[in-house]
């Protein structure tokens, strides 16, 4: 892969990750703002099932927000990679940043862009799973 193609691919992936980090945060914030309205119309007839569903919804919302934060951090790392001339230099820069932050030790071999993108995609799947759990638990809690 030439340098320009590498920079375009890493930059486009970083932009996509930014979007994937933002939309769950906005939807969860909207649901939190709507929750008092639903609670006022539902009345005081809370059941143990609805209380448990609200707890699951809150826990999965926090998990979704945590995953979104990690995805945002990954997007910034991909932007750092895209700012370098080559894939090896960009990967080494990311590995250096992670080592300086004491998040990961410096690896013996630099991972490729595709391997790093696969790891970010796995994180996206975890975020979407947590968000689906949040949506399902919120619907159960709102309509019970």
Tell me the mean pLDDT in the region 109-134: 95
CA distances (Å), origin 70, targets 40, 89, 130:
35, 23, 14
pLDDT averaged over every residue in the chain: 88
Task: Using pLDDT thresholds of 50, 70 and 90, give the confidence band for residue 45.
Answer: low
Mean pLDDT of 75-95: 94
Share of the chain above pLDDT 90, in %: 67
Rg of the chain over CA atoms, in angstroms?
A: 20
123-127 contact pairs (CB < 8 A, 24+)? 123/67, 123/70, 123/71, 123/74, 124/17, 124/20, 124/71, 126/67, 127/20, 127/24, 127/64, 127/67, 127/68, 127/71
> Domain residues of the chain, as ranges?
3-143
């Amino acid at each position: 892969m030439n340098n320009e193609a590498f920079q375009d691919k890493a930059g486009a992936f970083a932009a996509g990750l930014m979007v994937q980090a933002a939309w769950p945060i906005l939807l969860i914030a909207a649901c939190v703002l709507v929750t008092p309205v639903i609670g006022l119309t539902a009345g005081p007839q809370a059941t143990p099932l609805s209380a448990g569903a609200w707890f699951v919804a809150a826990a999965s919302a926090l998990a979704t927000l945590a995953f979104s934060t990690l995805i945002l951090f990954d997007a910034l790392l991909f932007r750092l990679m895209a700012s370098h001339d080559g894939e090896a230099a960009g990967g080494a820069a990311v590995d250096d940043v992670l080592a300086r932050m004491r998040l990961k030790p410096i690896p013996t071999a630099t991972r490729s862009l595709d391997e790093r993108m696969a790891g970010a995609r796995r994180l996206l799947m975890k975020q979407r799973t947590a968000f689906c759990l949040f949506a399902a638990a919120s619907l159960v809690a709102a309509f019970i």
